[in-house]
Amino acid sequence: MLELNDYPEVRVEMAAGLFPVLYIDNFYADPMGVRDYALSLAFDQFVALYPGRHAPLDDGALKSDTERFASLEARAYVAEMLKSVSTLDIDIDDIRTDFSLITTPARDLLKFQKHPHFDQTPVLSLVYLNPKDMGGTSFWRNRVIDRAAVVTQEDHEAYERFMRNAPAGEVRDEYTMVHTDSWEKIHEIDGKFNRFVAYPASVFHWVECKFVPEPLDLRKSRLTQRFSIHQVNKQAAR
């Protein structure tokens, strides 16, 4: 059920000529099985400002040795692929994984959820798990501070100043960028079914979501699997 495809399609592209994005299409051997399994879990965790819920894929969720081995294999594969395209020495124990659903209607988004953001981890990676594209991920450049990523402390401080002064923006019924005067889209990753992507977490990014079903229907919501890096053992010299 969580087994990987023996013949994935792997490539690396430069987003906007600036940031590497690792694509692995046809990631799982049985993506519908993975999707059905994910939707059988309890999405009862809320993390940071993500506009939805999470279901950890841990020993409490994995019921059989076969499931545990397949999940371990997936984490090991992700670790090796990320090591192969970066200077990071990532170990399998550095990676945690969960499933995520977007459940917050656009009109209920908070101020900070209406702006692209960055994450304080080296790499972000996820698998899109909707047979019909429910939206991917987009990269943005901030026009005000003239940056597309947070790399230095100066970048961090500039972004914090911008966000302190940024307006909340109008209320909309769709996940569309409100602040186009401040943000320029520079790249978009399509949320193709069974596609794994990984990219630098320092890049300003924003979730693309076609819609949030109302009343809420988890089977129609945007579903992804995240592979999160919780630490990196060391910087590898390559």
The pLDDT, as a whole number, for residue 91 is 87
Residue owning tokens 């209920």: 108
Query: Alpha-carbon distance 196 to 222, whole Å?
Result: 15
Distance of CA 146 to the CA centre of its chain: 24
Instruction: Please provide the size of the chain in residues.
Output: 238
Query: Would the pLDDT of 179 be above 60?
Result: yes
CATH code at 9-230: 2.60.120.620
Percentage of residues of the chain with pLDDT beyond 70:
97
Dump pLDDT digits (tens) for 98-151: 999 999 999 999 999 999 999 988 999 999 999 999 999 999 999 999 999 999
Q: Please say whether the dihedral angle defined by the alpha carbons of residues 52, 56, 57 and 61, taken in this order, is positive or negative.
A: negative
Side chain identity, residue 187:
H
Dump pLDDT digits (tens) for 45-59: 888 789 999 999 877
Distance of CA 102 to the CA centre of its chain: 12
Tokens of 109: 């988004």
Query: Alpha-carbon distance 79 to 220, whole Å?
Result: 30
Q: Indicate the domain borders of the chain.
A: 9-230
Residue owning tokens 């402390």: 153
The pLDDT, as a whole number, for residue 236 is 41
